[in-house]
Amino acid sequence: MISAPAITRDAPEWLVSDAPVPYPDAVAAMEAHVAAMARGEAGERIWLVEHPPLFTAGTSARAEDLFNPRGFPTFRSGRGGQWTYHGPGQRVGYVMLDLRRRGQDIRAYVHGLEAWMIAALDRLGIRAETRQGRVGLWVPDRRTGGENKIGAIGVRVTRWITWHGFAINVDPDLSHFEGIVPCGVREHGVTSLWREGITATMPEVDAALMATFAEVFGRARDAAPPDAPAPARRA
């Protein structure tokens, strides 16, 4: 695991894993770090990973949206949302921020994730957009006139600490998505940077994310309000 840059009081620590991380191990590591943050024993962290192929179910996942002809592992994640695929060639970002220091507004946080991903993709030459009633980021399909999904979001918030996060399709095997109805959306497909003609490397995607984070989220406040009530989880 590579760390860059070092943690400060008002900027998150960045971690980049250089080998695929088993999904259960990632969830356990996030859970431990979030608990340490809640106790005031750890700072904010953004962890960029890839996973071996699997499907994860959010809190709204429906059994009929899983087909899984290849028999990939499945995992109930506890995050918001429906079925999502993770696998090699996809950059997953686990975002552990302290909303006690960033405004206790989960909807604003999710909009911030969307804006951050849009800004990073724009640096790489992709214009992605959000759509009312559809979670994630979308780009036009020049072949069909429709739209395809290039980025997904699924978050969880525990005691005002965020975890889970987002996924950007860099160059995954897009046929793997055929094992689910991604995020419950049947009428649109999925795409990737490489399918759209942007042959960015994973380090280039990471650099774009690091360069644009502060444009959207800025710096955390110095102090958290005491004993604020907090939800256990949200989508």
pLDDT in tens, 17-52: 999 999 999 999 999 999 999 999 999 999 999 999
Asked, for residue 175, whether it belongs to a domain, the answer is: yes
**pTM of this prediction?**
0.88
Q: Which of 183, 185, 193, 220 is catalytic?
A: 183
Distance, CA of 146 to CA of 198 (rounded, Å): 19
Asked, for residue 136, whether it belongs to a domain, the answer is: yes
Q: What is the pLDDT of residue 114?
A: 96
Distance, CA of 3 to CA of 5 (rounded, Å): 6
Residue 107: give its domain's CATH number.
3.30.930.10
Asked, for residue 88, whether it belongs to a domain, the answer is: yes
Distances (CA, A) of 87 to 24, 51, 106, 174: 14, 5, 27, 10
- Is position 157 annotated as part of the catalytic site? no
What is the tally of structural domains in the chain? 1
Range of the domain at 39: 2-217
Asked, for residue 224, whether it belongs to a domain, the answer is: no
Asked, for residue 195, whether it belongs to a domain, the answer is: yes
Q: What is the pLDDT of residue 215?
A: 95
Q: What is the pLDDT of residue 169?
A: 98
Asked, for residue 228, whether it belongs to a domain, the answer is: no
Per-residue pLDDT of the chain (235 residues; tens, 9 = 90+): 433 333 345 689 999 999 999 999 999 999 999 999 999 999 999 999 999 999 998 888 889 999 998 999 999 888 888 899 999 999 999 999 999 999 999 999 999 999 999 999 999 999 999 998 888 899 999 888 889 999 999 999 999 999 999 999 999 999 999 998 875 566 678 999 999 999 999 999 999 999 999 999 997 774 344 333 333 332 2
Q: What is the pLDDT of residue 51?
A: 98
Asked, for residue 27, whether it belongs to a domain, the answer is: yes
Asked, for residue 233, whether it belongs to a domain, the answer is: no
